[in-house]
Amino acid sequence: MKVFIGADYRGFERKNQLARFLVENNCEVVDEGPYEYNEGDDFNDSAVKVALEVRENPNTRGILICDSAHGVTMQANRFKGIRAANCDSVESTILAREHDDANILCMSAHFVDESLMGEITKAFLATDFKNLERRVRRINRLDEREDYD
C-alpha cells in the first residue's frame, strides 16, 4: 500500500520512525515533509500535501503527526473526500476505518509513544471499511456542502 506521511516539528522524529516502520512492513512511503527539523514550521504545509495526495490517489492512505494531532486533523479535513481521524488507541482506529472509512490517520507525538504508534498504524492499514448503506450515506453527507450558514 502507498502511504503519504507528514508532520510538523513536534512530530518530525516520530514521522521518521514511522516511515522506517512502514517500509519494514512492505509499504511504499511518500514523505511529504518536513525533511529537516525546524522548530518554526507549521503543521499546515505537510497536512495539505498529504490530504491532496490522498484525495488524488484513492487507493492510498495518509498519516499525519503533530503535537496533539488536533491541528493536522483539522487541516486535512478541510478537503472534500478526506476523512482524517485523530486516533490514540487501536480500538478507535479500527472504528474510524470500519465505520467512517478514514483515509488519513492523525496521531499525537505527545500522547502516543512509538510502540503504540506502530500498533495503531497496523490497525489503520489492516482494517477495511464495513460498507453498509447507512455508513456510506453518512460519509457522503460529509461532502454535501462547504458553505454552512
The question of whether 66 is a catalytic residue gets the answer yes
The question of whether 99 is a catalytic residue gets the answer yes
Q: Could you please report the per-residue DSSP string of 7-47? A: E-GGGHHHHHHHHHHHHHTT-EEEE-S-SS--TT--HHHHH
* Exposure letters 94-123 (e unless 16+ CB within 10 A, then b): bbbbbbbbbbbbbbbbeebeeeebbebbeb
Q: Compute the distance between CA of residue 146 and CA of residue 66 in angstroms, rounded to an integer.
A: 25
Q: Compute the distance between CA of residue 51 and CA of residue 45 in angstroms, rounded to an integer.
A: 10
Catalytic residue among 27, 70, 87, 99: 99
Q: Is 64 exposed, middle or buried (0-12, 13-18, 19+ CB in 10 A)?
A: buried
Catalytic residue among 27, 66, 87, 106: 66
Active-site positions read: 66, 99
